Amino acid sequence: MQTPSKFESDERRVLHYLKQLEDSKEYFKEVNFIVGDSFYSKKTFVDGVKEMGKSYVGKLRSDAHFRYIYDGEQTGLKGANTKYDGKVIYDKHKFGYVITLEKCQKVYTKVVNRIFLKSEIRIVFLVNKYKKNRILFSTDVSLSALDILDYYSSRFKIEFLFRDSKMYTELEDCQSADKKY
């Protein structure tokens, strides 16, 4: 579907893409995961994807805030049980080591609470020797770290298809004044 050239705000753009996704859900009955970049990792979009019964895989900013989920014994005292165990600091000893990829990139994972999503997510923390760390996540906490990496990296293969199709079919250079062409 054609994307309008101008939006009043990023929120309007996110709502437009969410509506496109909802309108075309008939074509994606078999699809369980929606993958997007960090632009779509907003509460509105992620909640909309979850309402459609799908899971979301995306990227977060490197300074995103999380809380550890408390897994110790409860005190048994009056009041609410302890749910969280403090803010996530990217110390590798609390994360589960998964694998070292090529280019000396180490992969760690942990199920944490994402404050703005108000839910638990699995994050995949990619650490490389150049200190350019990346954080990927999934709303499906049962998804493995390697599956999250695989789904997110497959997104780029699709981006190349879009770029090439626009370039070779000249889709962006249409001279028609009629919107349906």
Handedness of CA 105, 110, 111, 114 (dihedral sign): negative
The C-alpha atoms of residue 65 and residue 61 are separated, in whole angstroms, by 9
Mean pLDDT calculated for residue range 76-94: 72
What pLDDT digit, counting tens, does each position of 138-172 carry?
999 999 999 999 998 887 666 666 666 666 666 55
Query: Which of 24-38, 43-57, 77-91 comes out lowest in average pLDDT?
Result: 77-91
Tokens of 19: 């509506």
The C-alpha atoms of residue 8 and residue 67 are separated, in whole angstroms, by 33
Q: Find the helix packing angle between 43-51 and 10-23, rounded to 10°.
A: 10
Share of the chain above pLDDT 90, in %: 13
What is the reported pLDDT for 131? 66
What pLDDT digit, counting tens, does each position of 121-141 carry?
998 888 877 767 788 999 999
Considering only residues 115 and 177, tell me which one the structure prediction assigns the higher pLDDT: 115
Q: Is 71 exposed, middle or buried (0-12, 13-18, 19+ CB in 10 A)?
A: exposed
Residue type, 179: K
Which residues, listed in sequence order, are joined to residue 127 by a DSSP beta bridge? 106
| ∠ CA 164-168-170, rounded to 5° | 110
175: Cβ contacts below 8 Å, ≥ 6 apart:
none
- How many angstroms separate the Cα of 18 from the Cα of each of 12, 51, 56, 76, 170? 10, 11, 12, 44, 26
Query: Do 35 and 151 touch, CB atoms closer than 8 A?
Result: yes
What is the reported pLDDT for 178? 65
Is residue 92 scored above 70 in pLDDT? no
